Amino acid sequence: MILFVLGIASASLAQGYDALVREAESKIMAQKWEEALALYEQAFKTGEFNYGDFYNAACASARLGKSDAAYSYLLKAIDAGFLEKDQLNQDPDLESLRSGDRWQTVTDALKQRLEAIEKTFPETRPAGPVIDLPAPRYDSPISVEAALKNRRSIRSYAEAPLALADVSQLLWAAYGITEPAENMPAFLRGGLRTAPSAGARYPLDLYLAAFNVTGLPAGIYWYNSEKHQLMRIVEGDRRKEVSEAAFNQGMFETASAAIVYSAVYERSMVKYGQRGRDRYVCMDLGHSAENVYLQAYALKIGTVAVGAFTDLWLKKAIGMTRAEEPLYIMPLGKIE
């Protein structure tokens, strides 16, 4: 299975390298394995590399029966940043390698890399500066019906800042409190919200990756829905890191911000067990994300739900805690 990964490399991609690997990808798509491998080998001689290209070279090598080269490229891919355990174990291109003597070496290397990265995540969030968000509005000239009819996934945005008031409105629509927790169970974490949740367990956490928001320094912020506040946990523009975690998809080039969802599965599993993890958290995410779509349309802001990313790289880019798992990115930008 071909991996399209641009930008997570040892250095900036040289033009010659870029052209070679793009041609190699086209050969893999056409199942011209010999030609693809020759192009990757030529590309790597430039001194540039990328974990996705190492991985693709491994797939081509495996298809050609060149197991030694395939194992070597897989180990290089892991060392360069490949972290997809499920793909490694399920990719049909690598089927011939899984019964080989060196397969355990590859899986052990990936396991060690994953464990090392997991240990870097904090148990709790750092307490950074707190920003009070503007109060949300509760009405609009745009009807729910109009938003439902006209909402679309939008992947290209005007290079213009978002207003803090609009960011506030989007976060409130996603997971804001609508009924404060007075004499309610502690697991509500503030009260009932704009999005329904199975058993009111509210397993989600939301982050704002601010790239170009008026009045808000660039950084990563955790959304405290109970107080309708942002707390900065990472300082500085993290567009590059978020984009690279999501395979440099084009929408991140012009997005002014992004809402990033994570889940603490235990919040749902304590009541519903494995079904909470496998089904109910996903349902909760869908409820909240649709709210963002509808609210974004009313604000003339574009967004799209992005689920293609390397989990641990996104988790690291955002600064999530160890218990969280990333679920979604929703880039935001003014409609062109």
Is residue 106 pLDDT above 90, yes or no?
yes
- Give the separation between CA 239 and CA 249, rounded to whole angstroms: 12
Type of residue numbered 240? K
**Per-residue confidence band for 10, with pLDDT thresholds at 50, 70 and 90:** very low
Distance of CA 93 to the CA centre of its chain: 25
CATH class of 130-334: alpha beta
Separation CA 158–CA 160 (nearest Å): 6
For residues 146 and 150, give the distance between their C-alpha atoms in angstroms, rounded to a whole number.
6
Angle at 92 between CA 87 and CA 96, to 5 degrees: 110
Fold of 15-118: 1.25.40
Domain range list for the chain: 15-118, 130-334
pLDDT exceeds 50 at position 281: yes
Q: Looking at the predicted structure, is the pLDDT value of residue 7 above 90?
A: no
Give the residue from 256, 230, 248 showing the smallest Cα distance to 317: 248
Beta-strand relationship, 301-303 and 229-235: unpaired
pLDDT for 11: 39
Query: Which of 11, 10, 42 shows the shortest CA–CA distance to 22?
Result: 42
Residues contacting residue 127 through CB under 8 Å, at least 6 positions apart: 231
With tokens 């080039």, the residue in question is: 253
- Overall pTM > 0.95: no
* Mean model confidence pLDDT for the chain: 94
Task: Using the predicted structure, report yes or no on whether residue 151 has a pLDDT greater than 80.
Answer: yes
pLDDT at 143: 97
Distance between CA 163 and CA 217 in Å, rounded?
Answer: 12
SS3 sequence, 83-105? CCHHHHHHCHHHHHHCCCCCHHH
| pLDDT band with cut points at 50, 70 and 90 for residue 167 | very high
Q: How many of the other CB atoms lie within 10 Å of CB of 127? A: 9
Non-local CB neighbours of 247 within 8 Å, separated by 6+ positions: 3, 4, 5, 6, 52, 308, 309, 310
